Amino acid sequence: MLLPKKTALASLPRRRLLQLAAIGAAAALLPACSDTTPEEAPAQGDHFPDIVLPGLDGRVAPLSAYANVALVVNFWATWCEPCRREMPDLEKLNALFRPEDLRVIGITVDSDANLAREFGMRLKLTFPLLSDSNQALSNSALRITGFPTTYLLRRDHSIASIIIGAREWAEPKMVDEIEQQLAVQRIAAV
């Protein structure tokens, strides 16, 4: 059963182990990288894509419907604990501004939109919730790697800043910052 012939390679077990390990690792990593396209994700200052996503209430809501309105676009999911925790603050933030000045928009990446809708109902969220369930936007177009990620968009929908991680949105300092960056004014005290 065993072949008596000893190849040259067989006498170098350590190097070959390394080679094999490298092949294995490369083979494992290849599929993970292969779907990357050369196109860059929009960064600070760029125009945010004019997305059209279904709302959790069933209506299709294009972002262009918010022409000349500054936007706080929050990507979240029900499996993301920090996202869930910042939701009430986003609701408060939304209430601080006139609809024609600033709106909060939540985009859920939950694959099960029902879970997100249930969550929105339980927290009595009033700002629009859209579903990006196959992550065409968050993963393919924006290359978001972690949640929550929030985009602050000026009135012309150019990106003022990209915020990774949860924040306390209704804190006075944060609201000041948003007012300054997006050139809008709150109507109620914090």
Partner 1 sequence: MIPEIGHLALILALALALVQGVLPIIGAARGNAALMALARPAARGQFVFVALAFACLAQAFLGNDFSVLYVAQHSNSQLPAHFRFAAIWGGHEGSLLLWTFILTIWTVAVTQFSKQLPEEMLARVVGVMGLVSVGFLLFMLFTSNPFDRLLPAALDGRDLTPMLQDPGLILHPPMLYMGYVGTSVAFAFAIAALLGGKLDAAWARWSRPWTTVAWIFLTLGIMLGSWWAYYELGWGGWWFWDPVENASFMPWLVTTALVHSLAVTEKRGAFKNWTVLLAIVAFSLSLLGTFLVRSGVLTSVHAFAVDPARGVFILAFLGIVVGGSLVLFAWRGPQVGLGGGFDIISRESMLLVNNVLLMVAAASVFLGTLYPLFMDALGFGKLSVGPPYFDAVFAPIMALAVFLMGAGPFARWKQSSATELLKKLWGWLLASVALAVIVIFAFRHWTAPIVGGVTLGFWALLSSLAYLVMRVREQNASGVWAKLRGTTRSTYGMLLAHFGIGIFILGVTLVKGYETTSEVVMRPEDMTTVGGYTFRFINAQEVTGPNYRGVRVAVEVTQNGTRVTTLYPEKRIYNVQTMNMTESAIDTGLFRDLYVALGEARSLDEWVVRIQHKPMVDWIWVGCLIMAFGGMLAVSDRRYRVPSRRRQPEAGALAMAAAKTS
Which stretches of the chain bind partner 1, using CB under 8 A? 1-3, 5-7, 9-14, 16-17, 20-21, 23-25, 27-29, 31-32, 77, 79-83, 85, 109, 111-112, 114-115, 117-118, 121-122, 135, 138-139, 145-149, 163-167
Q: Do 44 and 162 form a contact (C-beta atoms < 8 A)? A: yes
Residue 69 or residue 90: which is nearer to partner 1 going by CB?
A: 90
CB of 48 to partner 1, least distance (A): 20
CB of 96 to partner 1, least distance (A): 21
CB of 28 to partner 1, least distance (A): 4
Residue 143 or residue 155: which is nearer to partner 1 going by CB?
A: 143
Residue 106 or residue 148: which is nearer to partner 1 going by CB?
A: 148
Residue 136 or residue 187: which is nearer to partner 1 going by CB?
A: 136
Closest by CA position to 39, among listed 140, 187, 125: 140
CB of 20 to partner 1, least distance (A): 5
CA distance 144 to 148: 9
Closest by CA position to 152, among listed 142, 161, 141: 161
Buried b (16+ CB within 10 A) or exposed e, 57-82: eeeebebeebeebbbbbbbbbbebee
Residue 12 or residue 183: which is nearer to partner 1 going by CB?
A: 12
Contacts of 170 (CB under 8 A, 6+ apart): 89, 92, 93, 96, 190
Q: How far is CA 28 from the centre of its chain?
A: 26
CB of 89 to partner 1, least distance (A): 13
Contacts of 121 (CB under 8 A, 6+ apart): none
